[in-house]
Structure 1
Amino acid sequence: MTGDEPLTADGNNLPGGPVIDFWQWSMSSLLDNTVRGLFAEYLVARALGVTHAGVRVEWDAVDIVTESGLRVEVKSVSFLQNWAQTRVSTPTVSIPETLAWDAHTGRYEPASRRQADVYVVCVLDVTDVADLDPLNLDHWRFLVVPTRVLNTEVPGQKSIVLHRLAALPGVTECTYTDLRDTVETVGTP
């Protein structure tokens, strides 16, 4: 889709604009938790050079598979939220073991595990709303976490606060421009 496609009914284009109007209406706040997560996946896919692979697959076992075959799970956290806050949030990252679902077969794997080889945690690292610009990638930092580190250091844990995750041995922080090389280096056993 390009965004120019019209909504139709009874074979006629409906007044009010094309599908891009829906995208703008529903996806314009990059601070919204769901939209920020999708945006983070896009940023990582773009940095890893895999946006050409087509439209993302909702509910696939992992968010991204690199050209080298690394399976990447993308997480997004922020100190600021889309609602009124009396103080900044304490970012927490979801890291549970899951049953993998294969979008191509429609089947689940029988055993739970962490599906990815590596996690990329995208941190919108701004604490003052006046400075907030999610489109400025200098406002983001990226933690690259090998799944083997999670399995060793926090086995069975379902979530972890950001500062504790960042302190785990083997976690590498990088900028957006270094993300591709860092993922390949850290994610390869």
Structure 2
Amino acid sequence: MDSTGWGSPPAPGLLTGREPIERAGASLQDFWAWSMSDLRTTTVRSLLTEFLVARAVGAATRPRVEWDAYDVLTPDGARLEVTSGAYLQSWPQSRLSTIQFGGLSARTWSESDGCSAAGSYNADAYVFAVLTAAEHDRYDALDVEQWSFWVLPRHTVAATRQRTMRLSRVEVLAGPAVGYTDLAERIREVVKGDRS
């Protein structure tokens, strides 16, 4: 089938949020505000983290692709897996959350084969992000100063054979965290080192 049939959908473009939801008296921005305003939820925080990484490396000019085997594709072709955690959540807590990153290896999907039988490490580099706020009244996911990042090459992550990893292990493997302003350079260093 061609791209106009039922086999392949057209490639999405970036939307502005001003698009109307016909006969609902609302816009796409209204939907986004309704569905994504709680930046403490795991799902929304994860999407925000992917966006922040995409912006840092200049890859936010195309929409996120849900079924890609990685989260961000840099302009120079590096595949990035982005995983995040936070000490505070959207539910009542008796203590701060333990940071653990998941989804390090995952099954891939292809049009011809469907889902792969086994998980694999599919990115060139892995970006681990933590929203560091430890008090609810200071929590601001939109303040990049509250984020810390660690970056590891695929071979290091794959050598652990882990699907999930605690922050303490990431710190041992990656060394000190970098802030948002240094993230793109750190990603470039890790990818370049892994490709040499």
Bucket of the pairwise TM-score, normalised by the shorter protein: 0.7 to 0.9
Q: Root-mean-square deviation (CA), in Å?
A: 1.8
Deviation at residue 171 of structure 1 after TM alignment = 4.6
1:4 aligns with 2:13: no
Structure-to-structure mapping, 1:8-87, within 5 angstroms: 8=22, 13-15=23-25, 17-52=26-61, 54-87=62-95
| 1:66-106 superposed Cα distances (whole Å, 9 cap, x missing partner) | 1222110000100000111111000110144222224x767
| 1:147-174 superposed Cα distances (whole Å, 9 cap, x missing partner) | 211222x12x221111222112x45521
* CA distance in 1 between partners of 2:188 and 2:34 (Å): 36
Equivalent position SS for 2:91: coil
* CA distance in 1 between partners of 2:157 and 2:54 (Å): 22
* Maintained 8 Å contact 1:78/1:91: yes
Which residue number in structure 2 is paired with residue 140 of structure 1?
147
* CA distance in 1 between partners of 2:171 and 2:35 (Å): 32
* CA distance in 2 between partners of 1:174 and 1:5 (Å): 37
* CA distance in 2 between partners of 1:99 and 1:93 (Å): 17
If the length of structure 1 is used for normalisation, what is the TM-score?
A: 0.87
* CA distance in 2 between partners of 1:126 and 1:23 (Å): 24
1:91 aligns with 2:96: no
Equivalent position SS for 1:151: helix
- In the alignment, residue 121 of structure 1 is paired with which amino acid? F
* CA distance in 2 between partners of 1:14 and 1:72 (Å): 38
Structure 1 gap segments, 5+ residues each: none
* CA distance in 2 between partners of 1:161 and 1:116 (Å): 19
1:163 aligns with 2:168: yes
Label 1:121 to 1:96 Cα distance change in 2 as closer, same or farther (>3 A): closer
- In the alignment, residue 184 of structure 1 is paired with which amino acid? R
Richer in strand (by share)? 1
- In the alignment, residue 189 of structure 2 is paired with which amino acid? T
Equivalent position SS for 1:121: strand
Matched length? 179
* Maintained 8 Å contact 1:62/1:115: yes
* Maintained 8 Å contact 1:95/1:160: no
